[in-house]
Amino acid sequence: MKYIYIKTWGCQMNEYDSSMIANLLEKEKKYLLTSLIEKANILILNTCSIREKAQEKLFHQLGRWRKIKNKNPEIIIAVGGCVAVQEGKNIFKRANYVDIIFGTQTLHKLPKMISEIEKNKKHTIDISFPKLEKFKYASKPIKTKYTEMVSIMEGCNKHCSFCIVPYTRGHELSRPCNDILFEISSLAKQGVREINLLGQNVNAYKSLTFDGRICSFSKLIRLVAKIDGIDRIRFITSHPVEFTDDIIEVYKDTPKLVSFLHLPVQSGSNKILKSMKRLYTVEDYKLIVKKLTIVRPNIQISSDFIVGFPGESEQDFQQTMNLIKDINFDMSFSFIYSRRPKTPASKMKDNIQIEEKKKRLYILQNRINMQTMLWSRKMFGSTQSILVEGVSNKNIMELFGRTENNRIVTFKGSPKMIGKFVNLKINKIHTHSLKGTLI
């Protein structure tokens, strides 16, 4: 038997890509996925470049893998993902024991690249952008999970001044509508009950239906909702500029779409938003949320925040804190600004001391955590519909599932409930998780 070991860093898109890699190599090369690195014939590192010093993290990991290859020179080391696109041949220069470098859009070429290495023992690299070819080649396995991610598009055209994604994932490309619906229908037949539509900017999705009509993101959600067996729909990630009224209308008439939205805002200061090239104002963002709460009064919003962006004053930061209070965000992903290569912001003067950045991040995260707990407390004593996903990792005598607002709930129940929806009464509250009893 031959085995592959995959280490994945970064976003849900990377997780999705890694699953495609595993499935593809099992089908084309008869490799089995292993969690034991010492069993592997191929080591694959799927990287993320969204944070600062991503390349140094890569080379530190490769240094550890070099020791493994020194003991067994036949092991193949492959590097993919966003840092692979960012660094390209420089990876070979610093780590000449790496065999394969592949890009975010060329993972489907891995079987051929592996064959070349096995035959010629020479480095091979392909970090090109052949549009959405990978979806034509990568197959999906039989599913054992009941909630699944489905990629609907890749890339981004927004070119925010701080973001490296357009350079590592390319421009926006939407998968054909029929391909997406076929994949989701196949998953539904295998028992999947919840779908998470995935993309760097899902609101920009646009394709053609089988009869030649334009399929927008709002239309796609409605089509997914019609698929038998799919009872819950999520999506990530959105950009406020394209969160248009037709998407808001879907929340009004599509109950399968959850009452929880991740809508990155990044800053509460119009000055900083302009410097970030986000193309909207705080007032625009608030209007979107207002419209959403009219059609879904119980909707909860999470967001992204960047703290310490070049030029951010104390007043700018306070405006962000005011927005957090006004919107009453449920959760957030928040980070200190990271200078990324090739981005316009990397040329801006960074005039904020790291100690001040850390202080602001602490204040922001502490406030969000307080609001998260307040949202959780509102759920105490309520009845929640839960998709049971499996046995709890912390207690094998309990099952777990998720609420619409993305909180994990553990409870005592029968294994026969796995893959089904059950109603629970919430009787214990933690900041990011809950406990319940069957009704």
pLDDT recorded at residue 252? 96
pLDDT recorded at residue 340? 87
Cα torsion angle, 246, 252, 254, 260, sign: positive
The answer to whether residues 209 and 168 touch, using CB atoms and an 8 Å cutoff, is no
410: helix, coil or strand? strand
pLDDT recorded at residue 56? 84
Give the chain's domains with CATH numbers.
2-126 (3.40.50.12160), 380-438 (2.40.50.140)
User: pLDDT tens, 63-85?
Assistant: 999 999 999 999 999 999 999 99
User: pLDDT tens, 267-292?
Assistant: 999 999 999 999 999 999 999 999 99
Q: Is 215 annotated as a binding residue?
A: no
Q: What is the rounded CA–CA span in Å between residue 132 and residue 105?
A: 7
Q: Where are the alpha helices (DSSP H) in 35-140?
A: 54-71, 82-87, 90-94, 110-120, 134-137
Spatial CA neighbour of 101 closest among 76, 120, 124:
124
Q: What is the rounded CA–CA span in Å between residue 122 and residue 157?
A: 36
Q: What is the rounded CA–CA span in Å between residue 258 and residue 396?
A: 28
The answer to whether residues 44 and 78 touch, using CB atoms and an 8 Å cutoff, is yes
CA count, 13 A, side-chain hemisphere, 27: 14
First to last CA, the chain: 47
pLDDT recorded at residue 140? 59
Q: What is the rounded CA–CA span in Å between residue 412 and residue 288?
A: 39
Judged on CB neighbours under 10 Å (0-12, 13-18, 19+), 349 is exposed
Over 70: is that where the pLDDT of 138 sits? Answer: no
User: pLDDT tens, 380-394?
Assistant: 999 999 999 999 988
Q: What is the pTM of this model?
A: 0.89
Phi, psi of 129 (to 5 degrees): -125, 75
pLDDT recorded at residue 143? 61
Q: What is the rounded CA–CA span in Å between residue 24 and residue 110?
A: 9
Pairing between β-strand 124-126 and β-strand 100-102 as defined by DSSP bridges: parallel
Phi, psi of 206 (to 5 degrees): -160, 125
User: pLDDT tens, 44-65?
Assistant: 999 988 776 778 889 999 999 9
Cα torsion angle, 94, 98, 99, 100, sign: negative
List C-alpha distances in Å: 377 to 300, 382, 393, 426, 428: 14, 10, 24, 10, 9
Judged on CB neighbours under 10 Å (0-12, 13-18, 19+), 348 is middle
User: pLDDT tens, 184-213?
Assistant: 999 999 999 999 999 999 999 999 887 888
Residues composing the chain: 439
Q: Is 177 annotated as a binding residue?
A: no
